[in-house]
Amino acid sequence: MYQLINKFIESAKEIEGDVFPFLANKKSFNPETDSVYYSGPYWDDEEISEMIHSIFKGKWLSSGEKVSKFERQFSKKFGFDHSVMVNSGSSANLVMIAALKKYFEWEDGDEIIVCACGFATTVAPIVQNGLTPVFVDIDWQDLNWNLNEVEAKISDRTVAVISSPVLGNPYDMDTLVNICKNNEIKLIADNCDSLGSKWDGKYLTDVAVAASCSFYPAHHLCTVEGGMVSSNIKEIVDLARSFAWWGRDCYCVGQQNLLSCGTCGKRFDKWLDGYDGIVDHKYVFSQMGYNLKPLDMLGGIGSVQLAKFEEIHKIRRSNKEKIGEIVSSIPGVRVVGENKRSETSWFGVPIICDSKELKESLVFFLEKNKIQTRNYFAGNILLHPGYKHLDDAEKYPNANQVLSKVFFLGCSPTINNNMIDYIAATVERFKND
Ligand SMILES: Cc1ncc(COP(=O)(O)O)c(C=O)c1O
C-alpha cells in the first residue's frame, strides 16, 4: 500500500510541481512572493504517505493502533513509563489536571502556582477543574518566573506548581525541585514549548509528576493538532485517558481494544453497584469526562515525526543562534540566551526591546517585509477579558511590560538558510532606515 501511495505522491508532484506548500518551504524561498512563516509542519513525503495510509487501511479511523504505537514510542523516547495522546496540548492540560486532582484527592479551591505570563490554556484548566491559580511575576533576565516569588506564594492550600519555561528555555530547575520537595507540593510540567529541553543533561519532565505536550504546527513535533499526557504513574495516565474518552472506566487501547474479554479480562461483569446484572465495561463511566480523542492518523504522523526529533532539535538550536545573532545586532535589542546548565529545545527566538517604540517599529518592519513575528503569547494573562477576574494585573509589573517590549521570531526547521539570509538583509535595512 505504501508503494502505491508513494507513486501517487510522485505523480502529483510531476503534474502539479510543489504540491505541499510546507514541503516547498524546505527547499526554496523567493522573497518577492514568499513569507517567512515562524513555524509550520516540518514534513516530507513520509508524513503525507502515512496520513493517506491511515485512511485507506484504518479499521476505525478514530484513536487506535497507530495512536497506541505512538504513545509507546513517545514514552520511550522521553523517558516516561506511560503516555496518552489527545487532540491538542490544551486538552492535554485539561485532562492532566483533572487526573492529578482525582489521583491526589485535591479539593476544590486548592491552589496551583503558575506564571502570570504565558499561554492561556496553561491557566484555564486549573480553573476549569475547580482549583485556584496563584500567579507569579517574571524575571526580566530570562522572562521565566521569579523563583523567590514562587516560594513566597506557597500557602497551606498549595498543592502544586505548573512549570512552563519561556519558549522552551529552562531556568534553575534544581531550585524549583527543592522548593517542591521542601514544601511537599507537586511539580507539574506544561512541556508544550519545551519538548526535548534539558537541565543538567536530563529532560525537564524527569522531575515532574506529569507532563503535557502539544503537536500543533508551531511546536517541535507536528501532527496537525494533537497533544500528549505522560507520567511514570500508571493511574494518572489511566485517569487522563478516561477523562479524554468520555469518562469511561475501561482502559482497552490499540490491539487490546480488540480483546473480546477486554484488557481487564472481565469486560462483561457486574460493574455497577446499583445494578444487579452484567454490564459491558466499555459503557461504565467512572468520571465526568470529555471526548478529546485524536484521530488514528495523527498517531501515525506522530511516529514519523518522532524519528526526526533529533534533527529538528539540532536545526532549532542552530536557527536560534543564527537568527539571535542577527537580531541582537540592532541597538536596544537583547536576545535571551540559555543557562550554562541547559540544553534548550527552542520554540522561538525571545527578543526584548528597550522600549515600546522600538518593539512596535521593529515588529511592523518585519511583518511588512513578510517575516512573521509573534507576541510572547498572552503577555500578562491577567490583562485578558477571560482572565482579569482572577487577580489584579498591576501586581505583576514585569509581566505587564511583556506586551510592550517582548516578541519572538521562529526558529523552526522550516526556516532555511535562504530565509535566514533574507532576515539578515531585512534587519540591515531596518538599522539603516
Ligand atoms: C505552553 C503552552 N501550553 C499549551 C498550549 C496549547 O497547545 P495546543 O495549541 O495544542 O492546544 C500551547 C500552545 O501553543 C502552549 O504554548
What pLDDT score was predicted for residue 14? 87
What pLDDT score was predicted for residue 25? 59
Ranking 35-44, 205-214, 249-258, 367-376 by mean pLDDT, the lowest is 249-258
Q: What is the mean predicted confidence (pLDDT) over 12-20? A: 80
What pLDDT score was predicted for residue 59? 84
Measuring CA to CA, which residue among 143, 158, 72 is closest to residue 109? 158
**Which of 121, 144, 193, 222 most suits a substitution to test ligand 1, by most atoms within 8 Å of the C-beta?**
121
pLDDT above 80 (res 244): yes
Ranking 7-11, 165-169, 321-325, 363-367 by mean pLDDT, the lowest is 7-11
Q: What is the mean predicted confidence (pLDDT) over 190-196? A: 98
Q: Which helix (H) or strand (E) holds 420?
A: helix 417-432
Distance CA 214, CA 194 (A): 10
Give the model confidence (pLDDT) of 318-356 as tens digits.
Answer: 999 999 999 999 999 999 999 999 999 999 999 999 999
Q: What is the mean predicted confidence (pLDDT) over 297-321? A: 97
Furthest C-alpha separation in the chain: 81
Give the model confidence (pLDDT) of 146-174 as tens digits.
Answer: 999 999 999 999 999 999 999 999 999 99
Q: Which atom number of ligand 1 is nearest to the Cα of residue 121?
A: 4
Contacts made by residues 173-179, CB under 8 angstroms, sequence distance 24+: 173/199, 173/200, 173/204, 173/207, 174/199, 174/200, 175/147, 176/147, 176/150, 177/207, 179/147, 179/150, 179/151, 179/154
pLDDT-derived band at 226 (thresholds 50, 70, 90) equals very high
pLDDT-derived band at 372 (thresholds 50, 70, 90) equals very high
Q: Which residues are catalytic?
A: 219
Q: What is the mean predicted confidence (pLDDT) over 311-323? A: 98
Give the model confidence (pLDDT) of 268-288 as tens digits.
Answer: 999 999 999 999 999 999 999
pLDDT above 80 (res 180): yes
pLDDT above 90 (res 15): no
pLDDT above 70 (res 230): yes
pLDDT above 90 (res 35): yes
Q: Is 202 helix (H, G, I), strand (E, B) or coil?
A: strand
Compute the distance from residue 75 Cα to the ligand 1 centre, in Å: 19
Residue ranges and CATH numbers for the domains of the chain are 56-247+286-306 (3.40.640.10), 249-284 (no CATH), 310-432 (3.90.1150.10)
Q: Which atom number of ligand 1 is nearest to the Cα of residue 91?
A: 11
Region of residue 246 (phi > 0: left; psi between -120 and 50: alpha; otherwise: beta)? left
Q: Which atom number of ligand 1 is nearest to the Cα of residue 219?
A: 14
What pLDDT score was predicted for residue 254? 82
pLDDT-derived band at 24 (thresholds 50, 70, 90) equals low
Compute the distance from residue 124 Cα to the ligand 1 centre, in Å: 11
Q: What is the mean predicted confidence (pLDDT) over 212-221? A: 97
Compute the distance from residue 212 Cα to the ligand 1 centre, in Å: 9
**Which of 95, 122, 192, 345 most suits a substitution to test ligand 1, by most atoms within 8 Å of the C-beta?**
192
Compute the distance from residue 150 Cα to the ligand 1 centre, in Å: 22
Compute the distance from residue 89 Cα to the ligand 1 centre, in Å: 5
What pLDDT score was predicted for residue 342? 97
In the numeric block, which cell numbers belong to residue 131? 482549583
Ligand 1 shell residues, CB under 6 Å: 88-90, 93, 118-119, 121-122, 164, 190, 192-193, 214, 216, 218, 227
**Which of 115, 126, 193, 229 most suits a substitution to test ligand 1, by most atoms within 8 Å of the C-beta?**
193
Are the C-beta atoms of residues 91 and 122 closer than 8 Å to each other? no
Work out the mean pLDDT of the chain and round it to a whole number.
Answer: 95
Q: Which atom number of ligand 1 is nearest to the Cα of residue 218?
A: 14
**Residue 426: CA count within 13 A, CB half-sphere:** 23
Compute the distance from residue 247 Cα to the ligand 1 centre, in Å: 23
What pLDDT score was predicted for residue 23? 67
pLDDT above 80 (res 298): yes
∠ CA 78-142-419, nearest 5°, is 75
Are the C-beta atoms of residues 249 and 234 closer than 8 Å to each other? no
What pLDDT score was predicted for residue 403? 95
pLDDT above 90 (res 258): no
